[in-house]
Structure 1
Amino acid sequence: MSPAQTMFLPDNASLFTRMRVASQCLKELKNDPTNPIYGQTFNLSLNGNVYASLAHQLQRSEEGRRLLSKRPSLQGKELDLAALERLPEGTFGHALARYFRDNKISPFETTLQLKNDVDYLAKRYRETHDLLHVLTGYATDVVGEMELQAYLLGNLGLRTTMFVLLNGTIGQLKAPQSGVERSEYLRRVWAAYRRGRASPRFLDFWFEEHWETPVATLRARLCAPAKA
């Protein structure tokens, strides 16, 4: 059986099937960590129920229904980074464009088709990863990535974030990186988790309508204050 067949995730898949697909995706991601298909399928295989619950909640409000109906996209092909960087310094769009340039990375892209609202919310989650680095202020080094995963776990309760955080923490405790001691690492991750739990849900926010909004304004609106 080929990897593509092994990683096919049928509708209403059983727990066994979802775990099998997630395991295969993770294996492939170790060799190709930025592959959007593996990443998206891994995301869906473990978090489908969370997205289904969120979609149900969004259908209850006018703004939520607008999001699911319009399905705005934050993929790379939708972002004019040159235009965003020309916005005034301090605006969200300018900060995001500089983030991609300074870190020498590109916005998320995927070729997966969206069959339903669950697929869309899974894609939306992947698209917002880099935006959240800008808003939360968490760095892109090993510890900063674990802080963001802890924040996401607290905010959305996704199984993938728990899995990544657990593996990253085991590695950090065995061999601390970035000059951060074990006790400091655990303190920062716990603080990020608590911050995520205290913050408003971000996944249904229309970031596309706030490129000219100051980063500080969005941070105050979407992120609880960072605490030690």
Structure 2
Amino acid sequence: MKIKHDFPASSDSETPFIHPERPAARFRPLKALHHFRELIKDKEDTEQVFHIFESLPRPGFRKDARAFVESDKGKALLVSEPNLSGLLDDHERLRRMPEGSLAHAYCDFMEKEGLSAAGLIAEYDRFSPQKYGDLVEWYGFRQRDTHDLLHILTGYGRDALGEACVLAFTYGQNPALANVFIAYAAGLNMKKQVKSKAPIFKAIREAQKMGKACPRINEESITDLLAQPLDALRERLHIKAPHFYHEAHARFRAQEIDPYNMLAQPA
């Protein structure tokens, strides 16, 4: 299948679903374990996450990608949203959207945390400079580029448990083994490092269930989502306040443990 659009890919005006030079995915669990051990040393080391995803490919990914890019909705988004990073980093445009919208919450979050969509892409490019410009890549990049939006939609922070919960939520949406592996392995590491009765695994499981109940965010029009009131959008997407995540934070703080720096503290 080939679709004409403005996604910068092949040398002509058509883009293949899978580039003929794209290598086959390889399942390498021991490599994933090695990179997870590196990740827990520094949760900001995003490159380790990419290695884990490469080592634990999802068998049904290409099937889902094909179904979406061949749908009317997918074809329309190929034209209207060929590249999400330009949209997500245009805070001037996003700030013109209504007050209380996802766009304003997203800008607040990214500016506070010093993050950008381009920064995430730069991290990925250092890990994988080779680009194939096919539709599988376009579909996969939509999953990558909407990660920080999930923090806003779900209410999970950038603390260790919050990141694990976002990955569990993502697994509920797109069941790549890497998502659930990192989420539960991170939970196990938290349990090992910090002696607490905080409901860590309940929080992760709750996030996974919410992700499954929510329509796939990467298959939605991100432009449309950004313009909508955040509270109403969460209700429409079946995203509830994360009860066990907040309970875990409360228990951590009751023990004078900072949830955002918990793995740096002695058990």
Q: TM-score, normalised by structure 2?
A: 0.67
Alpha-carbon contact 1:76-1:109 (below 8 Å) kept: no
Where do 1:64-103 residues align within 5 Å? 64-68=74-78, 72-75=82-85, 79-103=89-113
Paired AA for residue 23 in structure 2? D
**What secondary structure sits across from 2:234 in the alignment?**
helix
Paired AA for residue 165 in structure 2? E
Alpha-carbon contact 2:58-2:177 (below 8 Å) kept: no
78 and 186 in structure 1: CA distance in 2 versus 1, 3 angstrom threshold: closer
26 and 145 in structure 1: CA distance in 2 versus 1, 3 angstrom threshold: closer
Distance 1:224 1:22 in 2: 30
Of residues 119, 134, 141 in structure 2, which corresponds to 1:123?
141
Alpha-carbon contact 1:68-1:117 (below 8 Å) kept: no
Q: 1:62-101 CA distances to partner (integer Å, 9 max, x unpaired)?
A: 1123234665322257621234235443111111110111
Distance 2:139 2:181 in 1: 19
Distance 1:13 1:149 in 2: 21
2:114 aligned residue: 104
Where do 1:164-179 residues align within 5 Å? 164-176=182-194
**What secondary structure sits across from 1:11 in the alignment?**
coil
Alpha-carbon contact 2:58-2:176 (below 8 Å) kept: no
Distance 2:160 2:102 in 1: 24
Offset at residue 139 of structure 1 (A): 1.3
Alpha-carbon contact 1:43-1:122 (below 8 Å) kept: no
Q: Percent identity?
A: 26
Alpha-carbon contact 1:172-1:182 (below 8 Å) kept: no
205 and 167 in structure 1: CA distance in 2 versus 1, 3 angstrom threshold: same
1:3 aligned residue: none
213 and 11 in structure 1: CA distance in 2 versus 1, 3 angstrom threshold: same
Offset at residue 145 of structure 1 (A): 1.2
Count of equivalent residues = 213
2:219 aligned residue: 204
1:140 aligned residue: 158
**What secondary structure sits across from 2:137 in the alignment?**
helix
1:194 has 2:170 as partner: no
1:221 aligned residue: 236
Question: Highest Rg: 1 or 2?
Answer: 2
Q: TM-score, normalised by structure 1?
A: 0.76
Of residues 60, 68, 74 in structure 2, which corresponds to 1:58?
68
Q: Answer with 69-78 or 54-63: which moved more.
A: 69-78
Distance 1:168 1:53 in 2: 29
Distance 1:182 1:126 in 2: 33
117 and 21 in structure 1: CA distance in 2 versus 1, 3 angstrom threshold: farther
Distance 1:184 1:219 in 2: 23
198 and 12 in structure 1: CA distance in 2 versus 1, 3 angstrom threshold: same
**What secondary structure sits across from 2:200 in the alignment?**
helix
5+ residue gaps in structure 2? 1-20, 244-267
Distance 2:109 2:211 in 1: 21
Offset at residue 42 of structure 1 (A): 4.5
Offset at residue 114 of structure 1 (A): 4.0
Q: Answer with 118-127 or 58-67: which moved more.
A: 58-67
